[in-house]
């Protein structure tokens, strides 16, 4: 049996943004979001304050949806 896996991505960009939003909303008011997929991870950047420069980036495993870190 030959199995071809085109992508390890299981979590969609929309799902990754929702995961990051729920995580950050525990401590911040969040607004705009952007997500970048790279090497089996989603990197979701969200504004968390009044300034556009006040952002947090949440790394999410694209297969499991688990949060790997926040900077």
Q: What is the pLDDT of residues 16-34, one digit of tens each?
A: 999 999 999 998 899 889 9
Q: What is the pLDDT of residues 37-54, one digit of tens each?
A: 999 999 999 999 887 789
Burial of 24 (0-12, 13-18, 19+ CB in 10 A): buried
Question: What CA–CA distance (Å, rounded) separates 28 from 48?
Answer: 6
Domains with residue ranges and CATH for the chain = 13-70 (3.10.450)
30 closest CA partner among 70, 65, 62: 70
The whole-model pTM stands at 0.81
pLDDT score, position 5 = 45
For residue 47, give both structure tokens: 């504004």
φ, ψ (nearest 5 deg) of residue 18:
-65, -40
pLDDT score, position 50 = 80
Instruction: Taking residues 10-21, report their average pLDDT.
Output: 95
């Amino acid at each position: 049996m030959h199995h071809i896996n085109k992508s390890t991505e299981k979590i969609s960009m929309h799902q990754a943004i929702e995961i990051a939003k729920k995580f950050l909303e525990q401590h911040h008011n969040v607004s705009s979001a952007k997500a970048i997929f790279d090497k089996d991870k989603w990197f979701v950047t969200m504004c968390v304050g009044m300034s556009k420069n006040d952002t947090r980036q949440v790394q999410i495993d694209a297969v499991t949806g688990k949060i790997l870190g926040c900077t």
